Structures are given as structure tokens and as C-alpha cells.
Chain A
């Protein structure tokens, strides 16, 4: 089986069966990463472009490693949205890149919906590596992979996502993904950081982390951006940390065997205390490892789906 689509733009556009296919393919690719020679020849001769309009060493490196382990050629292009100021539009940039005969473009952009513009206009496959506050599908898929790996299943689990839901593409992709897989999604944060209508996406909103964590199988913490404080969305780090930060006391409310996740990079002592981040239930580093396998699966299945392998 393969993904019968040109692009991976978001979890919103994936069927449950497609998600399962990505996860099971990632399982076999994870094995590749444990070999001495961590490389398969599947995508030899393919050209992939990492097009990052927003700096992100973590995601860019993960995609780069994934492409290299599939033997594809990968080019990194960091562009700034300020090229718009120079008169070049997103489409101009992308068409220039495609003129170099790229097969796939992995795009990270600070504005929601930007990858959709590329997908519509280009023949290359487009993978959304994070767009504005919209989606970050590969992150949600690697989170799903990690949960399944650790807990054996996803259906019926209580999963709490805590932090700045409003500005988080990780939260949106996870809400959609976990919902499709039958988990119960709980959201928590101050009301200033939770959109009023987010429950319509299939989640329950809590304002007290104690309530959201109570009996949770998974607790996912989101990074809090300091600039939100300046725009008046919460009064300060100290108060945020006290009311919404994850510490050991709060972890104890969760179910026995709870796993703690964070998409990184973490703010130690702000949304998560050091002892929790480094504690036995933390799977933060597994998330990073699994990211490569999941991204290999996404790249591989999209290419295969186009009959290119």
C-alpha cells in the first residue's frame, strides 16, 4: 500500500487507514536506524528540498536525516519571508526551486496555509513541516508512534495537551490525529490561549491542569512562547508556571505508567520542571528518535504513491 496523494498537508486531510499505514511503515524503518549501516536505497536519484522559511534546526535535521537514510539527495534552503519585501512571492521562490527538477518539497512556513499554495501550484510533492498555527502533521504522527510504542495502543486513552493551544500547530495536528485514532483528548491552559470553538475539533477543555491530568495516560506539554506575555495573554512566566506548569505533584494525579511528552525545545522550569523532563516517565528523547523513522515513512509512502518507486 501507499499514500494515494501527492502531498501531506495536514492530519485533517488524512484517513485513519492512511495514518495506520504511515505508522506501520515507520515501524519497519525504525529497525533501519538500529543497523550499522543506517541506509536503504529506496529513493536513490530522487531530489528533495528542505524549504524552511522559519528557522527550526530540529525538524529540518530530522527530515534531512530521514531523506538521507532513504538515499535521496537533499538540499536545504533557508529563506526568509522577507524575500516578499524584495518582490519575490512564495510562488516565485517555489517555482524557481521546482525548475531544478525537485521531486519533493518539505516546507516550513510561519503562515498558516502556505503549503497549500505550493501544493496547488507545483508538480512536486509537498510535505507540510509546520505552517503557522495550523498543522505540523509529522510531529503528530511521531507522537502517535511514540504513544503506541510505549503504551501498545491509542484507542480509549486519556491524553492531556497543556499549554498555548491557540498558537500551536502541534496541538491542532495532535487533536485531529488522536481523535481519528479514538483517544479522548483533553486541552488545558488559560482561556486566553484556548480558542473558544476548539472543542468542535473533538476535545474537552479544562482550565485546571489537575482536572486535565487526573487519570491521564499521556500528558503532552507545549512550549510557551515568551512573546505571548508581551501581547497580554498571560501576566508572566512565574504565574504561568505555578498554575499550568507540569511538576511531580501534578504528574502523580495521572494514571500509573503515564508518559510525558514535549515537542521541544523545552523551557525548563517554565512549562515543565527539570525533574519531570528528565524523569523516568519522560519520552521526550524517544520522540526525537522516532521522528526520523516516521519522516522516512512519510517521504517513502508519498513517493511510492506516485508510482515513482
Chain B
């Protein structure tokens, strides 16, 4: 049962996180806290998503989720990144009923089991919600014509 929640991929990302550490320059930054457990994450993104950097402290689920987010979204064009984002949020909020699409989600499919643990969904979503705020602040995906 625990193997579904703590998939090998999740434990790997937790023990050996990818892309951790805050880097400059960046276009936008967001800091999110989970008030029930005190987990924290800070995420920075460049406007073209060529780099997504982060730092934080928290449980294996939230920290592995940040590492996977870094892997899956860095270097994507904004529309593709937001598609992955949307698919991940849908998976997490699906109470275990949503069939994950590995082509879209990549390693993030490992979090499918988390959706069955309502108390942990917030942990998995923490970095993704922070990413969204950081991306908005950086103006990611906002074309110059529209901003004018």
C-alpha cells in the first residue's frame, strides 16, 4: 500500500533532488507555505522557462514534487508547461479516479498514488501552486502584443 504512495521515483527525487537551489537571474519568484505542516517552498522562473530553480523544506512528497516539476517544466515553451501543470493539478484533485497520461506528465505520473491520500495532496501541489504564481509574476506566456 505504501509502495503506491512512496514510489521509487518519488524517493529517488527526495533523496537526490534535481535542480535544487535558488538561481539568478530570474523573472518571477513565489514563496508558498502549507500552514498545516509548515512546509515551505520558494520557486524562481525565468520568463522563457529556461530555468526553474527552487529551495524549500518539507516532506518527501512536497520536495520530490518540486524536483519533478523542475525536470518536467524547465525548457518547455509556456503553453506546453501550462498543459503539464493543468494535467498534474487534475491528477492530484482526481481522488485517484483520473488516469494519468505519461506522455504529458513524464515522471510526475509517479504521484498518481498521492491522489488517494487527501491529507497529502496539498504537499504534492505546493511547488506547482508556487510555480504558477512565480510564472504569472514573470509574465511567462504573456505575448508582448497582449501586454501592451
Partners in one complex: no
Q: Which residues of B contact A (CB under 8 A)?
A: none
Q: Which residues of A contact B (CB under 8 A)?
A: none
